[in-house]
Amino acid sequence: MNLRPASLFLPLILLLAAAAAPLGAETAATFWLDEAEEQVIDRLMAAMSAEEIVSQVFLVGWATEEPSREILQWIRRRNIGGVKVFGWNSNDLAVLARSISQLQREATATGHAIPLFIATDQEGGWVRHVRGTTSMTPGNMALGATGLPQDAYQTGYFIGAELRALGINMNFAPTVDVYVNLDDYVIGPRAFSSDPIETAVLGSAFFRGMQQQRVIATAKHFPGHGNAAEDSHGSLPVIYDDFDAVWNRDLVPYRMLIREGIPALLSGHLSFPRVSGNGTPASLSSYFKRDLLRSQMGFEGIVITDELYMGAVYQYGRETGRSFAELCLLALEAGSDMIMLSRTPALNDQIWQTIYSAYRERPEFRRSIDASVRRILRTKLRYLKPEDRVPLDPDPATVAAHVPHPDAGSFFADHAYRSVTITAAARIPLQPRSNERILLAGRFGDFLREGSAQFPGAAHYRLSTPTVYRASAQERLEFRRAAERYDTVIFCLSDPATVMLANELRHSDVELILFSVLSPSYLRSFTWVDTALAVYGWGRDSYHAGFAALSGQLHAEGILPIDLHNSSER
């Protein structure tokens, strides 16, 4: 179980303390009492102060590698519900493990010894907040390309194992957005497929793999980001689908995952005016949380908002005249169980005062928060109390032995090979002609390195644009002039800017071979290209596998997981 002795004996110590206390007395051991789940929850709810109850709905980030003074204050004084690990917290995995151990020690030293949710975004592939030596996976869309639930299960299992070794007990994954709108850049390769059933099956298998490691899976972005045209990090996406479209497409994975027992969902900042009847984001909407998710779909787990310091939330606040504190309150009024804040608020700032005052003064809101905290405690008792839990005090000294997981590398390399997809095969296998001048052009160093290993005589052109969204006229001109000195260009297609650059060769005499990485959606702009393949990750395994397929060393069997000819009508 990779637990240090202190972690093994903590529940026993607390239980002995409870046994020594007067009958009926509440002690620091309340959470760890050897009683029925609902009885422990009843004891906790009766003993906790109003401030302690309200604090459980907060899931907060901190800005430094080691725990900040502010996050420690929130834990010591309020025993908040959880913390969120972002990329800036995880530059050094040994430091991260030590920090998580410190945070959990602080939490279990508070009045009722309730441990923290330690959450992160470790989807695999493109989104990997905990980096360092954690596995670089081919990603969700590669899972869609193989279509094998066992691949999804193993991916969830290995990601879960690495998070477990660090003491991270909650993962905001799987991403089960159904990839409908191929212009939805922010989802792209984070999706499994454009097919709702395949997304549901692979998402469920991914969940089961993480469940095996006792990591709390949190499916997202409810009710579905896959038909959005905007990025909710910057603005509020408005999706004009009706209820039937959402129910029979976007909600299919959630309907299956709820039946499978998924413990948590994360709600997106997404507006569906034809479903809810107004423009309120789903993350702040009582229709989506209470009417649809709870009443109609029967979900009994916990619902967490996406990060509230996002552009979509601020935009809605400006449009409705609400302060940020009022938006946080609205998320809870709507039926969210926890609010996620990437920045640590001041202990008694307006966010806290607004929510705490509402709890003290409004009986209906108090009942709603009490119900949310009961769900939070129930999840913690099921996942953070049993002996097979994710360690509360991960050992920094053992991180190197467990991250990456010893068996992960061979699995993810094999998966990268299985997922390569040929979409146009005119020159596959590519056997350079006599004196053929080949140029490798791409944004990523690993692409150029792996390409050079396969085609040693090829020249390099490192693509560089200030943004991935567009290439300037000057950048396009410079690339075309460079490319026209060669017979063949093997081009790494990865984003809208690279689409613009590659299209510069449409009317030239240069033969263009496309090597798509991440989302293959950009291939739809190149029906005139005769040789193209897709990989879905951006690690060396994916590049190596793609070049092996291009040269004929690998018989590629992946199936394109999206329909390039059927993007949603907006």
* pLDDT 10s digits, 348-364: 999 999 999 999 999 99
Mean pLDDT for the stretch of residues 63-92 = 96
Query: What pLDDT, on a 0 to 100 scale, did the predictor assign at position 566?
Result: 63
In three-state secondary structure terms, 172 is coil
Q: For the chain, what is the mean pLDDT?
A: 94
User: E-strand spans in 320-428?
Assistant: 339-341, 421-425
Instruction: Please pick, among 121, 184, 306, 395, the residue that the annotation labels catalytic.
Output: 306
The pLDDT tens digits for 155-202 are: 999 999 999 999 999 999 999 999 999 988 889 999 999 999 999 999
Q: For tokens 């050897």, what's the residue? A: 34
State yes or no: pLDDT of 127 exceeds 60: yes
306 included as an active-site residue:
yes
Question: Which residue type does 405 have?
Answer: H
| Domains of the chain, start order | 5-347+364-402 (3.20.20.300), 421-551 (3.40.50.1700)
Partners of 271 in beta bridges: 238, 281
Please state, in angstroms and rounded to a whole number, the distance separating the CA atoms of residues 188 and 284: 25
pLDDT tens digits, 226-269: 999 888 888 999 999 999 999 999 999 999 999 999 999 999 99
Q: Pick the catalytic residue: 233, 349, 407, 555?
A: 233
91 Cβ neighbours under 8 A, 6+ residues apart: 65, 131, 132
Q: pLDDT value at position 11?
A: 44
**What is the helix, strand, coil percentage profile of the chain, to 5?**
45, 15, 40
Does 123 score more than 60 pLDDT? yes
CA distance from start to end of the chain: 50
User: Per-residue DSSP letters for 518-551?
Assistant: S-GGGGGG-TT-SEEEE----SHHHHHHHHHHHH
Q: Where are the alpha helices (DSSP H) in 420-564?
A: 445-454, 473-483, 496-502, 540-551
The amino acid sitting at 545 is: A
pLDDT of residue 97: 98
Q: What is the pLDDT of residues 500-540, one digit of tens each?
A: 999 999 999 999 999 999 999 999 999 999 999 999 999 99
